[in-house]
Structure formats: C-alpha cells, structure tokens
C-alpha cells in the first residue's frame, strides 16, 4: 500500500535517521544542503534522504578494494521492502520512495552507472560519457521529480528531457571540477576524441599537463556544460512552484563553479574550484530573480 507523504518520519528512530541524513548532506555537499534548504520541510527531508542514498551508492566505488560484488549486494539491499530494511539511511529512503511513488527503475540505472566506475576504462566519445552522466546524475533528477512535484498542467513526459539535460550538465561540471581527485582514483573522464581534438593523450593528463592545449580542452568542455545548462533551465519553470527556488539555486550555484574554474586558471589538478558559502548567499537574490523569470518552453 502506498504511504502518504505525512507518514515520513513517523517514529523516533526514523526522525533520528532523517537528522543523520541532514548531517550527511551538510557534510558532503554544501551546495545541495544550501539549495534544499529552500524546500518545504517534508520535501526537504525527502530530497535529503535521496541524496543520502545516492551518496552511499557512489561511495561504494571510491574504496580501493571496490568490487562489482559489493555493488550487487547493495542493489539487493536497496530492493528490500520497508519491513526488511534495517539500515537507518536505507529505511528512510525506502519510506520516502514509497511515500512519493518513486519509480525504482531509476535506482537501478543509478546503480548501473556507479558500477561503470569499477574497472574504469576511458570513454571513447562524448556520447559514451553522456550516457554515463545520465546514469549517475540524470537519474537523480528523475528520482526527485515525484518528490518535488510538477507545476499544474505539466506532465512528466514534458519535464523529463529537461531533467536529463540538467543532470548531464551537473555531472560534467563535477568532472571538470574534480579532474585531480579523479586522476588520483585512476579515472580520466575526458572523452578520448576530445583529447585528440586538442592534441592531448591520456599520458598528458596523467602527467598533469596544463599547457595551452589543456586550457583549450577545458574551455571547450566548459562551453559544452554551459550550453547544457541553457537547454535545461527552462525545465525549472515546469516544477511545482515550491521546488523552483531550490532546483534553480542548485543549478545556478553549480553553474557558477565553471566561473570558479576559470578564476583559478584551469588548475584543476591540484585545486578544487568551489563557490563559497558567502558567495552563495550573495548570489541568492539574483538566483531567485532569474528563477522567477524562467518560462517553460513549448
């Protein structure tokens, strides 16, 4: 039986788990914690439960001894019904999933995407990398859609393409920000065709080359990411009005990371570009104004 949204955190144990979810969100993603703070309480709790599920899933493959067996064991644990969930964070995610009628196929796709990082092999083309970005990021937007809701008269088939584009934009931003961290994990996400276009090889990235070729590559990828944001932002106007400020803030604050990469002269091997908490606050009035002006297309 599908639970009502009011059933979330109906026990003290669940309330405590939601507090743990809040702390995990604040610790691991200040941008996401900042943006979700703009949601109504019930939706805020639910989205942070989703974040905790995604975080735990992603962490599986960042361990040195990560194996596909661990991912598959996690998949089976995630599939368990509420009555069989003894992990506090998975329990509140299962509560959320059942309360809002979340489509579990996107959970499966997310886990499939995370599994792609085990035994990592570089992607040949942008289409290949885009498929990975869909699985690990666009699925998060699709999982969140029934939680945050849609505007009156908007059907999921209208909103889904924009959620997919936004997820790809966010993940590409992550990739450009985390070049150094990913390199330390043995992963280079730049498509081989893009490296070749600018006269670069995997060995150049391994050697942390930061010459005019690398800067040209970064400019190209940043332009691609910005184009994806442009294509995705009209979808914010298709969301329920209570969700538009939060999703708009997340998108625009994340897009600002691209500016920060430029500000550090593309030195992403040893620096992590980020938008400070103070800057996020100063950006908020402008963000809310921009969100208010976004109009749905079509």
- For 100-158, the pLDDT digits (tens) are 999 999 999 999 999 999 989 999 999 999 999 999 999 999 999 999 999 999 999 99
For the record, the structure tokens of 296 come out as 């749905």
For the domain that residue 188 is a member of, what is the CATH number? 1.10.600.10
> Is 111 contained in some domain?
no
Give the pLDDT score at 1.
Answer: 36
What's the confidence (pLDDT) of residue 279?
75
Residue at which a domain ends, from 103, 135, 168 = 103
Same-domain pairing of 151 and 209: yes
| Spatial CA neighbour of 240 closest among 280, 290, 291 | 291
88 and 138 belong to one structural domain:
no
Pick from 103, 138, 159: which residue ends a domain? Answer: 103
Are residues 139 and 226 both part of a single domain?
yes
Verify that 142 and 280 share a domain, yes or no. Answer: yes
Q: Distance between terminal CA atoms of the chain? A: 36
pLDDT at residue 255 greater than cutoff 70: yes
Number of domains observed in the structure of the chain: 2
Express each pLDDT in 87-100 by its tens digit: 888 988 998 999 99
Q: What is the pTM of this model?
A: 0.88
Confidence of residue 4 (pLDDT cuts 50, 70, 90): very low
Average pLDDT across the chain, whole number: 90
| CA-only gyration radius of the chain, Å | 19
Considering the domain architecture, whether residues 196 and 171 belong to the same structural domain is answered as yes
For residue 172, count other CB atoms closer than 10 A to its CB.
24
Residue 26 lies in a domain: yes
Residue 278 confidence (pLDDT): 67
Residues 97 and 159 in one domain: no
State whether 125 and 70 are in the same domain. no
Question: How much is the pLDDT for 11?
Answer: 74
Helix (H, G, I), strand (E, B) or coil at 46: helix
Residue 112 included in any domain: no
pLDDT tens, 272-289?
A: 988 777 677 777 777 777
pLDDT in tens, 71-83: 999 999 999 988 8
Q: How far is it, in rounded angstroms, from Cα 133 to Cα 128?
A: 9
Tell me which of 77, 103, 129 is where a domain ends.
103
What average pLDDT does the segment 187-203 reach? 98
- The answer to whether residue 28 sits within a structural domain is yes
Answer for the pair 275, 31: CB distance below 8 angstroms, yes or no.
yes
Q: Are residues 267 and 128 in the same domain?
A: yes
Highest mean pLDDT among 246-250, 267-271, 291-295: 267-271
Q: Are residues 28 and 157 in the same domain?
A: no
Kindly state whether residue 109 falls inside one of the protein's structural domains. no
Assess contact for 178 and 272: CB atoms under 8 A.
Answer: yes
Structural domain containing residue 1: 1-103
Q: Specify if 217 maps to a domain.
A: yes
Distance CA 111, CA 107 (A): 6
253 plus 227 within the same structural domain: yes
Residue 115 lies in a domain: no
Predicted local confidence at residue 3, as pLDDT: 40
**Residue of 149, 143, 97, 246 lying closest to 89 (CA atoms):** 97
**Does residue 177 register a pLDDT over 90?**
yes
129 and 45 housed in the same domain: no
Same domain, 98 and 124: no
> Is 113 contained in some domain?
no
Position 32 confidence tier, pLDDT thresholds 50, 70, 90: confident
Average pLDDT over residues 225-237: 96
């Amino acid at each position: 039986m599908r639970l009502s949204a009011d059933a979330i955190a109906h026990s003290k144990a669940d309330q405590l788990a939601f507090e743990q979810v809040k702390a995990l969100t604040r610790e691991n993603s200040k941008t996401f914690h900042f943006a979700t703070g703009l949601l109504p309480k019930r939706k805020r709790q639910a989205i942070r439960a989703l974040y905790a599920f995604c975080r735990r899933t992603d962490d599986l493959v960042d361990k040195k001894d990560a194996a596909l067996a661990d991912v598959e064991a996690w998949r089976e644990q995630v599939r368990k019904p509420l009555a069989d969930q003894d992990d506090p964070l998975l329990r509140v995610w299962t509560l959320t999933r059942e309360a809002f009628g979340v489509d579990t196929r996107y959970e499966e796709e997310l886990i499939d995407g995370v599994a792609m990082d085990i035994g990592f092999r570089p992607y040949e083309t942008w289409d290949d990398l885009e498929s990975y970005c869909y699985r690990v990021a666009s699925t998060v937007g699709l999982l969140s859609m029934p939680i945050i809701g849609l505007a009156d008269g908007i059907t999921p088939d209208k909103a889904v393409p924009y959620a997919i584009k936004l997820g790809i934009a966010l993940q590409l931003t992550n990739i450009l920000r985390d070049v150094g961290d990913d390199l330390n994990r043995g992963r280079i996400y730049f498509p081989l065709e893009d490296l070749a276009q600018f006269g670069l090889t995997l060995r150049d990235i391994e050697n942390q080359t930061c010459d005019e070729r690398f800067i040209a590559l970064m400019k190209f990828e940043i332009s691609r990411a910005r184009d994806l944001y442009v294509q995705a932002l009209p979808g914010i106007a298709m969301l329920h009005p209570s969700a538009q400020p939060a999703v708009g803030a997340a998108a625009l604050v994340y897009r600002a990371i691209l500016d920060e990469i430029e500000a550090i002269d593309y030195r992403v091997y040893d620096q992590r570009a980020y938008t400070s908490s103070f800057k996020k606050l100063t950006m908020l009035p402008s963000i809310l104004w921009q969100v208010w002006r976004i109009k749905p297309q079509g």
